[in-house]
């Protein structure tokens, strides 16, 4: 079984600006400071691109994890997808969509995941709410950086 959720963020800047910020490793690290996240392999700073990978090391739920993410699709400035190439999930896919609006843009994050150990109940009761908070916090950091 898999779990999924979508988070929509209205942004007061153009889609192109949020697209670029969302691919910036340094901004991602800033947004994940509370988890002690670091980029330890692959693209470790600046902008990541199609086919490139980054390996993260971070502490979540008091446990240190490593996860390698790869950019598997990129259609600038509208959409990109990063997905786990190696790490703690059975599967993890994060689709980022950017759509210009009259007031800036709409950024839509859709995450689909499957836990290797825990069942659908744990995914929906623990992992999804936790990840939703993490993405919401990440997006707030990105918004602050581009204003």
User: Read out DSSP for 85-99?
Assistant: EESSSSEEEEEEEEE
Neighbouring-strand partners of residue 81: 73, 95
Pairing of strands 91-101, 79-86: antiparallel
Question: pTM for the complete prediction?
Answer: 0.95
Total domains, the chain? 1
Residue 124 has which token pair?
Answer: 């929906």
Per the structure, the complete domain to which residue 22 belongs is given by 3-146
Give Cα separations from 137 to 33, 124, 133 (angstroms): 11, 19, 6
For residue 11, the domain's CATH number is 3.30.530.20
Cβ contact 141:27 at 8 Å: yes
Per-residue pLDDT of the chain (147 residues; tens, 9 = 90+): 789 999 999 999 999 999 999 999 999 999 999 889 999 999 999 999 999 999 999 999 899 999 999 999 999 999 999 999 999 999 999 999 999 999 999 999 999 999 877 677 778 888 999 999 999 999 999 999 998
């Amino acid at each position: 079984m898999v779990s999924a959720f979508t988070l929509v963020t209205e942004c007061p800047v153009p889609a192109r600006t949020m697209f670029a910020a969302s691919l910036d490793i340094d901004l991602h690290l800033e947004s994940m400071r509370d988890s002690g996240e670091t980029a330890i392999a692959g693209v470790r700073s600046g902008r990541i691109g199609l086919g490139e990978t980054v390996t993260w090391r971070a502490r979540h739920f008091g446990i240190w994890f490593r996860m390698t993410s790869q950019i598997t699709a990129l259609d600038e400035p509208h959409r990109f997808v990063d997905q786990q190439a190696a790490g703690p999930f059975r599967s993890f896919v994060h689709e980022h969509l950017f759509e210009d609006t009259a007031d800036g843009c709409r950024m839509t994050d859709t995450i689909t995941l499957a836990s290797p150990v825990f069942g659908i109940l744990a995914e929906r009761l623990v992992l999804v709410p936790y990840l939703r908070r993490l993405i919401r916090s990440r997006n707030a950091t990105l918004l602050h950086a581009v204003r």
